[in-house]
Every structure is written in C-alpha cells, then in structure tokens.
C-alpha cells in the first residue's frame, strides 16, 4: 500500500474536485503545522510530494492525492491559525462543510493531533463536530519524536483520556523516525475495502 502516490489537484470548492467516481477517500484534518503534509510524504515514502512549510496556515485548499489507483487521500487546510481573517475562517468552514457533509466517498477522517501538545480546544471542537455528523474518525498523534521515550506513554494516556478513546483507537506516528506508519497503513487499508 502507498506504492504509487500522485498529486492530482488543489481545489477551493466542489466544482474543482477531480472526477473521483466511486473511489473511497480519506481526509487528513488537523490544526496548522500539526504535520499533515509530512505524514503524507512519510506514508508515500517521498520527500516532497506534499509541500511542507514552516509557516502555519500555508495550505488553504483541499489537496487531492491519488494512491495506488485505488483511493484518494485529501489534505485539508489546517485550522486554528490565528492570523487568518474572519472572512478566511468563514471560507475555511464552508470548504470543510461542503466536503464533509456532501461526500458519499468519504470513508474516514484522520484527525491529527500533536503528540507533545495533546488535543487543543480546536481539536476537541473538530472531534465533536465529526462525531455529531457520524463521520468515522481515526486519531493520529504526530511528531512522537519530539517526546522523550520515557514520556511517550504519559502523553499517549493524556490524548486517550482527553478524547475518551480506547488505547487501540490512537495511532502514534513520527514522520521523521518513520514509526507508526505501517499500523496506520493497515488501518487505512481496512477502511477503503
């Protein structure tokens, strides 16, 4: 899985979405600079498929990636970036609502949270929103490498407790160390069947 990964298009609204037929889709969602692009690159084994920026709020469109000719991975703009104007935040909300609520191909959302920071208030709001609409959500804690090995269990428990998850519902990953990726790929494979 993730042997053939191609960037397809960046879309500002549904009229710009690629013709996806009935192929399944997985959406990556998380706050700005949580590591969505780094995770895509790590899953695909590529350094620069998804553009990585040190500036938060860089991604402003839905980026579609075609994976193994079998499904789409969709990278959403990060939320919670304070320097966005009110109009930009409203546009962001419309973009996500349009994609999430009207999408029959969406199999799940990978909600990314920073393993070191834990779930923020914005993360909790988004998690509740997804639950409210009955959207399958997988929690992926990124940047595990930023936590000392002795503290990782404590951070894991904090995330699990804060979101009310079972231990097996949380995937700990590190794009830098390439850890947790195989487990996440297996979970995605089960979702797109």
Indicate the pLDDT class of residue 91, thresholds 50, 70 and 90.
confident
Q: Which pTM value belongs to this model?
A: 0.93
Find the mean pLDDT for residues 133-160. 96
Does the domain at 5-192 match CATH 3.40.50.300? Answer given as yes
Listing from the earlier edge strand, what are the strands of the sheet with 25-30?
A: 5-11, 62-67, 71-75, 25-30, 106-114, 137-142, 170-172
User: According to the model, what pLDDT value does residue 84 have?
Assistant: 65
Q: Which of 16-20, 46-50, 86-90, 115-119 is least confident?
A: 86-90
Indicate the pLDDT class of residue 48, thresholds 50, 70 and 90.
confident
Indicate the pLDDT class of residue 83, thresholds 50, 70 and 90.
low
pLDDT at 57 over 60: no
CA atoms within 13 A on the CB side of 110: 31
Find the mean pLDDT for residues 53-77. 84
Phi first, then psi: what are they for 171, rounded to 5°? -110, 120
Residues 6 or more apart whose CB falls under 8 angstroms from that of 130 comprise: 100, 109, 111, 137
User: According to the model, what pLDDT value does residue 60 have?
Assistant: 76
């Amino acid at each position: 899985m993730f042997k053939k990964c191609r960037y397809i298009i960046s879309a500002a609204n549904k009229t710009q979405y690629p013709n996806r037929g009935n192929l399944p889709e997985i959406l990556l969602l998380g706050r700005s600079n949580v590591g969505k692009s780094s995770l895509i690159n790590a899953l695909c084994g590529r350094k620069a498929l998804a553009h990585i920026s040190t500036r938060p709020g860089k991604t402003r469109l839905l980026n579609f990636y075609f994976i193994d000719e079998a499904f789409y991975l969709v990278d959403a703009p990060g939320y919670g970036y304070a320097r966005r104007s009110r109009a930009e935040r409203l546009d962001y909300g419309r973009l996500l609502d349009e994609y999430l609520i009207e999408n029959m191909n969406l199999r799940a959302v990978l909600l990314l949270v920073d393993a070191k920071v834990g779930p923020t208030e914005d993360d909790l709001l988004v998690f509740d929103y997804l639950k409210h609409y009955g959207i399958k959500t997988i929690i992926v804690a990124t940047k595990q490498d930023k936590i000392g090995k002795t503290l990782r269990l404590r951070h894991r428990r904090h995330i699990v407790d804060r979101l009310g998850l079972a231990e097996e519902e949380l995937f700990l990953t590190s794009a830098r160390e390439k850890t947790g990726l195989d487990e996440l790929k297996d979970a995605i494979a089960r979702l797109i069947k």
